[in-house]
Amino acid sequence: MSAATRHSLEDLLAIMARLRDPQRGCPWDVQQDFTSIARYTIEEAYEVVDAIDRQDWRDLRDELGDLLLQVVFHAQMAKEAGLFDFADVAHAISDKMIRRHPHVFGDERYADAEAQKQAWEAIKAAEREAKGGRPDDSALAGISHGLPEWKRAQKLQERAAKVGFDWPDEQPVFDKLLEEVEEVRAEFVDGRDPRRLEDEIGDVLFVVANLARHAGVDVSQALRHANAKFERRFRRMEELARAEGRPLAERDLAAQEALWQRAKRDGGDTGA
């Protein structure tokens, strides 16, 4: 693309405004609101992460554009409602970054990264208090309910650990995990009450998140890798089944398991 045809951020804002125009815009875009668009915002953020995982930089460029469009979309709807506009969004984040980095944009100095992290949390706490309402002095204050639940679980655990509420190492976490798995097993035996199962399985997932935290593993990345591994093996199973002239769906579980083991060997996988 030549320099003459390159679009600017102002062009993107104008495009979004045109799409939302009640008379000349796109009917689908006009019908959207904050709630209906929110799920696309989350999806686009995950698409960015996927492109990074694949190290597909051309795709990353495009996915970042899709994510930027989500910001522009929300800002345009807010402008129409008289709430704020894109310039206000840019101002707010710029102001926040300057305020939270006094050691970069001011004269503050920290002894080390840990001191800087503590100061960051103190600044955030002051920001929450400045927003008004009853001050929340809990160690868990300010953890967003909009986070993916696995991420919120780890943040809750991290905050609790800061005041000493944490296991000293991973062994008690393993013990707790086994305990919670047995409680799920017991619920299956006792009657499979949906609410009880949800509660017990939730406990298992919470402990798994804690184990990942102790291991220094990002739950989302670990699950993405597990998903990719399963998909890779399953697709190989389908290829093997087709090559033998008998589709996977026509085989019993034992035959499918045999293909699964072959797929693992073909891929050089040694895990479960």
From CA 224, how far away is CA 148, in angstroms rounded? 14
Fold of 3-98: Helix Hairpins (1.10.287)
- Most distant CA pair in the chain: distance in Å? 72
Cβ density class 212-243: b for 16+ within 10 Å, e for less? bbbeeeebeeeeeeeeeeeeebeebbeebbee
What pLDDT is attached to residue 271?
Answer: 59
**What is the model's pLDDT at position 4?**
61
For helices 194-215 and 219-243, what crossing angle results, to 10°?
110
pLDDT for the residue 218:
87
Q: What is the pLDDT of residue 1?
A: 45
Q: How far apart are the first and last CA of the chain?
A: 47
User: 3-state DSSP call for residue 99?
Assistant: helix
B/e letters for 120-149, b = 16+ CB within 10 Å, e = fewer, are eeeeeeeeeeeeeeeeeeebeeeeeeeeee
Question: For helices 86-100 and 57-80, what crossing angle results, to 10°?
Answer: 110
Q: Which residue has the tokens 């002095």?
A: 137
- How much is the pLDDT for 197? 92
Count of CA atoms in the C-beta half-sphere (13 A) of 241? 20
User: What pLDDT shows up at residue 108?
Assistant: 87
Query: Distance between CA 24 and CA 26 in Å, rounded?
Result: 7
Q: Is the pTM of this model over 0.75?
A: no
Calpha distance 141→156 (Å, rounded):
9
Residue 154 burial (CB < 10 Å; 0-12/13-18/19+)? buried
Q: For residue 75, with 0-12 CB atoms within 10 Å meaning exposed, 13-18 middle and 19 or more buried, which class applies?
A: buried
Q: In tens digits, what is the pLDDT along the chain, a chain of 272 residues?
A: 455 678 999 999 999 999 999 999 999 999 999 999 998 998 999 899 889 988 999 999 999 999 999 999 999 999 999 999 999 999 999 999 999 999 899 888 988 888 888 888 788 778 877 776 566 778 888 788 878 888 899 999 998 998 899 999 999 999 999 999 999 999 988 888 889 999 999 999 999 999 999 999 988 889 888 998 999 999 999 999 999 999 999 999 999 999 999 999 887 565 56
Same CATH fold assignment for domains 3-98 and 138-217: yes
Q: Where are the domains of the chain?
A: 3-98, 138-217, 220-266
According to CATH, the topology of domain 138-217 is Helix Hairpins (1.10.287)
Nearest one of 57, 89, 55 to 72, comparing CA atoms: 89
pLDDT in the model for residue 198? 93
User: Tell me, what's the pLDDT at 134?
Assistant: 64
